[in-house]
Amino acid sequence: MITIFGKILFGYLLGSVSGSLWLGRLRGVDIRTQGSGNAGGTNAFRTQGLWFGLGVGLIDVGKGALAAWVGGLGVADGPPALTVALLTGAAAACGHVWPLYHGFRGGKGVAVVIGLLLVLWPVALAVLAGVLLLVLTTTGYVGLGSMLAAAALIPAALLFAPGRDRPVWLVATVLIAAFVVFTHRANVRRLRAGTEHRFERARVLARLFSR
């Protein structure tokens, strides 16, 4: 039990290392004072450019992957190892959203979830990426795409998760979807008010079908 608690604590502390804020220090900026005020990859890309955004994304995906990998070490194979790995990855996502080192003001956790899935269930990434790209190229809304992609993990768990791990993944995907919607609650408010930022250049399918 102490070892499991230590892994979860490690996950949270690792997740608290914010890619955008550390890279921002090198550039002399705090992106929480720019754009949407969020310390995540989307705002990093929007306010600082492509390469900065990619660097942030790599760090944030990497810490989710590392946390999940460390979480599964030394635990019996199957659902027990998966559960501990998921808890450690979840702690990293919480650290990303509420970072200890940065006044508990971080990002929204999607990149960390991607890293977690990359290690524990790579097949799910195809579902998540497919839904995210579909929504982004039709609506231009990253936040909406993130929420719908997270929700799509639930039926994916029913259809594609390995048999013995399916109950664990069903619970995990419901919690992931709820977590992503919660961290995007400001996006939901802006969508309802019609003030959400839209990436017009990303609306490739929308422009294609409007011809």
pLDDT of residue 134: 95
At 12-68, the pLDDT tens digits run: 999 999 888 888 788 777 778 777 767 777 777 777 878 888 888 999 999 999 999
pLDDT of residue 183: 96
Query: Per this entry, what is the length of the chain?
Result: 211
At 31-44, the pLDDT tens digits run: 787 777 677 777 77
pLDDT of residue 199: 83
Residue ending a domain, choose from 65, 92, 120: 120
Mean pLDDT of 151-160: 95
Residues 32 and 84 in one domain: yes
Domain total in the chain: 2
Residues 6 and 108 in one domain: yes
Residues 185 and 99 in one domain: no
Helix (H) or strand (E) holding 125: helix 123-139
Residue ending a domain, choose from 120, 144, 170: 120
Sign, Cα dihedral of 79, 80, 82, 86: positive
CA atoms of 52 and 46, how far apart (whole Å): 10
Which residue segment(s) compose the domain that 142 sits in?
Answer: 122-211
Reduced to 3 states (helix: H, G, I; strand: E, B; else coil), residue 161 is coil
Burial string for 75-91 (b: 16+ CB within 10 Å, else e) reads beeebebbbbbbbbbbb
Mean pLDDT of 166-174: 96
Please report, for residues 64, 75, 146, the alpha-carbon distance to residue 183 in angstroms, rounded to integers and kept in the order given: 16, 30, 10
Evaluate whether 101 touches 71 at the Cβ level (below 8 Å).
no
Tokens of 200: 């017009």
Sign, Cα dihedral of 42, 47, 49, 55: negative
Q: pTM of the prediction?
A: 0.88
Residue 78 pLDDT > 80: no
